[in-house]
Amino acid sequence: MIHSLEQPAIVSIYSEQRRASVNIVLWFLALFGLTSVTALFMFYVKPIPLPLGGIFALGIVIVFWYWPHYGLYTVIMFSLLGDALLWPWYPFVKNLSSPESILYISNALIFSPAELCMCLVLAIWLVKSAARRKFHLYQGLFFWPLLTFTFFLAGGLIYGLGTGGNTNIALWEVRPIFYIPLMAVLVSNLMHRPDQILFAVYLAMAALFVEGLIGSYHYIVKLQMNLAGIEAITEHSAAVHMNTLFIFVLACWLYRTPGIQKWALLFTIPPILVTYLVTQRRAAFLSLGVALLLMTIILYRENRAVFWRIVPIAGLCGITYLALFWNSGGMLGLPARAVKSVVAPESNSADALSNIYRVIENINVNFTIHMAPLTGVGFGQKFYILMPTPDISFFIWWEYIVHNSILWIWMKAGLLGFLSLLVLISFG
């Protein structure tokens, strides 16, 4: 009886000792590998007299090893924090081969700190799973639709390269899209508690708040509130990112959220709203309108009493705003002009000229799809130009990447890639 009780403890001690030995070996191999890579890097590239940078990098590796989800926090926050127009030097999402980045090292290093973080977290997760001899892949609601979409994207990449596509451009096209399945798998398997997800969301909101502050400072102080000759002060995607904060704040006020959090989020809106407006992105204004419409539908299904108290008044205010600012040329009239550019564009306006380019581009995209409806042309291949477009050669990839991102997937990855994207969106 005593023997039967003691035996599991002995087995447990032996297993713990074996696991500790494996961990020591893995740490030794990791340090040896890091030292070897550093030595090879210094030999083939050039020595860098920045020992503090190496110490900092080693510290990051140690932190990510013990808390891998901190690596995901890092990717989420710092990917949203910087902006190529506001901070040309900001390094996190730029390659280590980008001369304007403060982390420029060599033209040969065509990967970014963001990619290094994602790959490091992935490697740590796999190594720790192997050390424990226990690998569990969480498969949530999005797993199979996302895996299917990724499979057809990879097929579009292989087909494009196999038919003579430009390798460099193909990788640039598809590279950011592959971040989605990678981050989805890592978040699903390394963030197990709701508070971790919520903290990641608040980090994203904090990053957008900082970007809003910098954008407001740039507009008010540096530009003296004068946008003459300036199309935008941030990247095109920045305003779309800010839509998430507006919707998140609205959701916090409509549903049960602690008072401190609601008021703190409300405090972030003014500087972000200034940057949002002066960025002058019609797509952001229109997508925000669609998001608000979807929120009203959800509110109607879940709480009709609140719906009838809020939506009619909000709708009346929206109609009044459109009526007052329909022909306004000021900053406050930008959302109204975005709606007007779609509903009743003026033939001589800049928005109308932009619309004309998109119409011609869509004709070319549709023609390209009809030429290869099943397979697409593949990544790295140019789309067919049936009708010449206005000159935008300042954008070096204008023959590869188009404004219509949905049809672009069909054009590049074929019909099944397009359908898999629609299925993935429907699961959202």
Q: What pLDDT score does 51 carry?
A: 57
Q: If you average pLDDT over every residue of the chain, what do you get?
A: 83
Judge if 211 and 297 occupy the same domain: yes
Judge if 339 and 214 occupy the same domain: yes
Judge if 128 and 224 occupy the same domain: no
Across 266-285, b (16+ Cβ under 10 Å) vs e yields eebbebbebbbbbbbbbebb
At 5, the pLDDT band (50, 70, 90 cuts) reads very low
Judge if 76 and 93 occupy the same domain: yes
In a domain, 43, yes or no: no
Q: What pLDDT score does 285 carry?
A: 84
Q: Is 101 helix (H, G, I), strand (E, B) or coil?
A: coil
* 94 touches 112 (CB < 8 A): yes
Number of structural domains, the chain? 3
Judge if 239 and 306 occupy the same domain: yes
| pTM for this prediction | 0.79
Q: Which two tokens stand for residue 156?
A: 């579009």
* 187 touches 203 (CB < 8 A): no
In a domain, 153, yes or no: yes
* pLDDT average, residue stretch 308-328: 86
Q: What is the C-alpha to C-alpha distance for residues 43 and 52, in angstroms, rounded to an integer?
A: 19
Judge if 382 and 323 occupy the same domain: no
Q: Is the pLDDT of residue 7 over 50?
A: no
Q: What is the C-alpha to C-alpha distance for residues 129 and 146, in angstroms, rounded to an integer?
A: 23
At 254, the pLDDT band (50, 70, 90 cuts) reads confident
Per-residue DSSP letter, 403: S
Judge if 177 and 260 occupy the same domain: no
Last residue of a domain, one of 136, 159, 182: 136
Judge if 261 and 370 occupy the same domain: no
Judge if 86 and 223 occupy the same domain: no
* Among 285, 252, 426, residue whose Cα is nearest residue 351: 285
Judge if 128 and 102 occupy the same domain: yes
- Which residue range forms the structural domain that includes residue 159? 139-190+356-428
Judge if 395 and 318 occupy the same domain: no
Terminal Cα-to-Cα distance of the chain (whole angstroms): 56
* 275 touches 295 (CB < 8 A): no
Judge if 79 and 174 occupy the same domain: no
